Amino acid sequence: MARTAITASTTLTEAGIDPLAVDAAIEATDGNSFPWREHRLLFVNNGDDAAVTPTFLTPGTVGRQSLPITDFAAGACPAGAWRVYGPFGPEFRQADGSVHVNWGGTTITGVTAAVLDA
């Protein structure tokens, strides 16, 4: 199956925003993607009863041997909590111009995410 795109983004303002008003359910099985932009953040709200860990994929390689850059397993988002991840450097930009994120945890449900522009 295909990765599910999170297409909408919200710009942070001095007046503040409610990220829970703009979030969408994550795709735990096939992962998500969102368009890469400098200063873009990913807000994750974990409504599950167990921690969830986002892993951000890096498509690049380094050196003559074309050694792969290790994907970044970010800090876990505990049950009932929220976290903000990013911003994401160009090393996370996929060939299609997006950032790919996979989700790790046990039977993930009730987790939402929103793309924020700082």
What pLDDT is stored for residue 1 in this prediction?
Answer: 61
Calpha distance 92→36 (Å, rounded): 8
Per-residue tokens: 117: 């522009």
Residue indicated by tokens 């909408």: 8
Per-residue tokens: 46: 């974990």
pLDDT, mean of each 10-residue run, the chain (118 residues): 86 87 89 95 95 96 94 96 96 96 92 92
What pLDDT is stored for residue 20 in this prediction?
Answer: 81
In the three-class reduction of DSSP (H, G, I as helix; E, B as strand; rest coil), residue 90 is classed as helix
The residues spanned by each domain of the chain are 4-117
What pLDDT is stored for residue 17 in this prediction?
Answer: 87
